[in-house]
Amino acid sequence: MKKNSFYLIVGCIALALLAVFWYSVEHHIRFITEAAFIVAIVLIYLIRTKVTDFIEDERTTRITEQAAVRTFQVFWVILCAFSIGAVMQILYIPSFPQEHFTNAASRPPVILGPRLMGFFQLFLLCLMIFLYVAFRIYYARKYGDWETDEE
């Protein structure tokens, strides 16, 4: 299979995934999107093995590895900082629980509600992608990806 055919198939899969996502949101069935996402990624990995004109050598592998490691080094700190906040929310035990049950106004505020949690997840997802792309560009430049010469 040629590289261009692969990109076309990936585009089709992405469109199908978007349609599934839309259907899932409309009908509020999140498991469909989650399952579809896993199936799509597995499918893309399988199809990628059939592509014959992808040339990968040790330099491109090194660029990918370096970018992945650096992304992980930065991302885990941010993820942990966020997770610690979420854990604190779970572990919060009011001193006078009875008062909280009787008086709604005195209940502790919900800092991370499900909706806000979703936005944070989206932010983390975008951050991870942004970090990886940024590090990939940095290492590609470092290892001479955009070098030109007289030939």
* Interaction site with another protein (CB under 8 A): 55, 57-60, 62, 142-145, 147, 149, 151
C-beta closer to another protein: residue 32 or 134: 134
Which C-beta is closer to another protein: that of 36 or that of 67? 67
For residue 74, the minimal CB distance to another protein (Å) is: 11
Q: 26 or 58, CB closer to another protein?
A: 58
Whole-number minimum distance, CB 65 to another protein, in Å? 12
Q: Kindly state the smallest distance separating residue 92's Cβ from another protein, in Å.
A: 38
CB nearer to another protein: pick between 26 and 56: 56
Question: DSSP string covering the chain, please?
Answer: --HHHHHHHHHHHHHHHHHHHHHHHHHT-HHHHHHHHHHHHHHHHHHHTT-S-----HHHHHHHHHHHHHHHHHHHHHHHHHHHHHHHHHH---SSHHHHHH-GGGSPP-SS-HHHHHHHHHHHHHHHHHHHHHHHHHHHHHTTTT-----
Q: How far is the CB of 5 from another protein (least distance, A)?
A: 20
